[in-house]
Amino acid sequence: MNPEVSRYYDYTLPFYKFFWHEGTNAIHYGYWDDDTKSHKEALINTNKTLADLVEPSRLSKVLDAGCGVGGSSIWLAQNYGTHVVGVTISSKQKKQADKNAQKACVENLTEFYLRDYRHTGFTDSSFDIVWGLESVCHAEDKKDFLREAYRVLKPGGKLIIADGFLTRLPKTTIEKHVYDVFIRGLALSNLATIGEFQEGLTRAGFKNIQMFNKTPHIQKTAQHMYGISCRWVKIFAIARALRLVPQMIVDTINAGLVQLDFFTKGVGGYYVFYAEK
């Protein structure tokens, strides 16, 4: 994994806490439906949407691949009594995840490790579910993650992924600029097209592959992120000029400005993939 990814999440941990997850420990887009009343509810809805597809239980063992500060892991443990193992390459995220689990009184159901989800070190066929919520995007070659997910899943195990993807390659100069700003600001090497990812799932050996376009459901979250970025872009530009923050923070704000166009102009989309071993 690119060391820039771990540096990015180590540094931005307090920023996500202040600006984004509102006590949910979520570092992802929120899912809006007709009954959703707030950004916080939308963030929780994303977990609910994925859980409804994989149906975790007290007997399930879940690998939260790219667990962040433990948001989904803790939610699964609290709501399903599920045993969840989370991995992250950010040392600060790992420490915070441990603290969050203790605070939520689910430390007996959760474990967090400083490991790369492409090479976890776990034994073959040891998980019922592999859960990747806006983490697989950080793999330079997504097939590396898919091969490892397949290896650690038990026969009949389920893979669930929610992430940003390219619906097609950028064509115009503006589209290429939006894409470049988006991936640079979020410490991504690239995004896979939905076709490439489907092919990768098949080649890894997965079956019963299903894809769900959730782009319409994250539009309000994209608008919310755009609004936050608009309010803070000048302040962080000044802070950068005064050398109070690194360039990565300015790049992150810029990504927040362009992501709305990325998801509304037809280049990018937010998709959920479900598959079985």
Q: Which of 134, 148, 175, 276 is catalytic?
A: 134
Alpha-carbon distance of 152 to 170, in angstroms, equals 34
What's phi and psi for 69, nearest 5 deg?
-95, 20
Our answer to whether residue 140 is catalytic in this structure is no
Alpha-carbon distance of 106 to 25, in angstroms, equals 14
Q: Is 240 helix (H, G, I), strand (E, B) or coil?
A: helix
Alpha-carbon distance of 80 to 55, in angstroms, equals 9
Q: How far is CA 196 from CA 141, 169, 182, in A?
A: 11, 11, 19
DSSP 117: T
Give the closest residue to 115 by CA, choosing from 79, 152, 143, 78. Answer: 152
Q: How far is CA 8 from CA 2, 14, 183, 222, in A?
A: 10, 11, 12, 21
CA dihedral 12, 17, 18, 23 (to 10 degrees): 170
Give the closest residue to 159 by CA, choosing from 113, 211, 194. Answer: 211
DSSP 10: H
Q: How far is CA 152 from CA 6, 87, 130, 209, 212, in A?
A: 23, 13, 8, 18, 24
Residues with catalytic roles: 134
